Amino acid sequence: MKQKETSLNTTEIKNLRHEEKGDDHAGFSMETPLREDAFALDDELKIELIEKHFKEIMLILGLDLNDDSLKGTPNRVAKMYVLEMFKGLDPKNMPVAKLFENKYNYKNMLIEKNISFHSVCEHHFVPIIGKAHVAYIPNGKVVGLSKLNRIVRYFAQRPQVQERMTIQISNMLKEVLHTNDVAVIIEADHLCVAMRGVQDLTSSTITAEYTGRFLDTHTREELQRMIVMEK
């Protein structure tokens, strides 16, 4: 099957042009890299365009889109990208974290551990699957426990680098909770390591961000002991 050539205008070429990094992943910023016009398109149009381009990828790979199993795949992938896997790119999906008075005058660390998440490696667009442990020491206010899960999920639902994700979660928690006493630990399996390259199925990656009172050795050790406690 001969593929129809596609012509790109100057603007499209400019938007698609990027520096080829290969396996050099050394540099990254604390913010997810987004173009200034990242939210110029609504979700419906994004789905339409992604469906079109993913269909082209499948055709280039030689797949028969007339097959019953494959013909709906471009649309399914497009909806999955926009409405599920990458919904954390859009600030409108940022969780609203309502604070409550600390009526019990609880002054010790609060830990939400084993928060499961799935993300996508921004270098190869394959899954990152892991769990996060987040902790904070209340500063007059507390937040609903489910909001800690939602904050983790918000930053996971985008193309990610684990180091950046760890810091992003920490920064948002500090802003929401009005305290610097925050800790975030993430352990994850990267399928870009398991499925390609070295194809290592057993290694995992751990990152941590400690701020405020969690920089104290004894506080940090207490947190780590509580995380490994069995139910």
Does some domain include residue 173?
A: yes
* Side chain identity at residue 47, one-letter code: I
Q: Which of 85, 111, 127 is the last residue of a domain?
A: 85
Q: Is residue 104 part of a domain?
A: yes
Q: Of the residues 51, 160, 190, 209, which is catalytic?
A: 190
At residue 19, the pLDDT reads 41
Rounded average pLDDT per 10-residue block, the chain, 231 residues? 42 43 51 93 97 98 97 98 97 92 92 97 97 96 94 98 98 95 98 92 96 98 93 71
Whole-model pTM? 0.85
Same structural domain for residues 80 and 117? no
Whether 123 is catalytic: yes
Active-site residue (options: 133, 157, 160, 162): 162
Same domain membership, residue 141 and residue 197: yes
Note if 192 is an active site residue.
yes
Residue 183 domain-assigned? yes
Domain annotation covers residue 169: yes
If you search the block for the tokens 């993913």, which residue do you land on?
Answer: 54
- Say whether 221 is catalytic: no
Same domain membership, residue 220 and residue 110: yes
Residue 59 and residue 112 in one domain = no
The verdict on 60 and 160 lying in the same domain is: no
Both 203 and 157 in one domain: the answer is yes
Q: Which residues fall within 8 angstroms of residue 134, CB to CB, at 6 or more apart?
A: 111, 112, 113, 115, 148, 151, 152, 169, 173, 182, 183, 184, 185
Looking at the fold, whether 118 and 59 belong to one and the same domain comes out as: no
**Does any domain span residue 21?**
no
In a domain, 9, yes or no: no
Give the per-residue pLDDT at 6: 42
Is position 5 annotated as part of the catalytic site? no
Closest by CA to 110, choosing from 154, 173, 171, is 173
Q: How many domains does the chain have?
A: 2
User: What CATH number is attached to the domain comprising 80?
Assistant: 1.10.286.10
Query: For position 12, what pLDDT does the model report?
Result: 47
| Per-residue confidence (pLDDT) for residue 230, from 0 to 100 | 77
Range of the domain at 144: 99-228
Co-location of 39 and 153 in the same domain: no
Is 195 within a domain?
yes
Within this chain, do residues 118 and 194 fall inside the same structural domain, yes or no?
Answer: yes
Q: Which residues fall within 8 angstroms of residue 20, CB to CB, at 6 or more apart?
A: none
CATH of the domain at 217: 3.30.1130.10
Q: What pLDDT score was predicted for residue 29?
A: 60
Q: Is 124 a catalytic residue?
A: yes
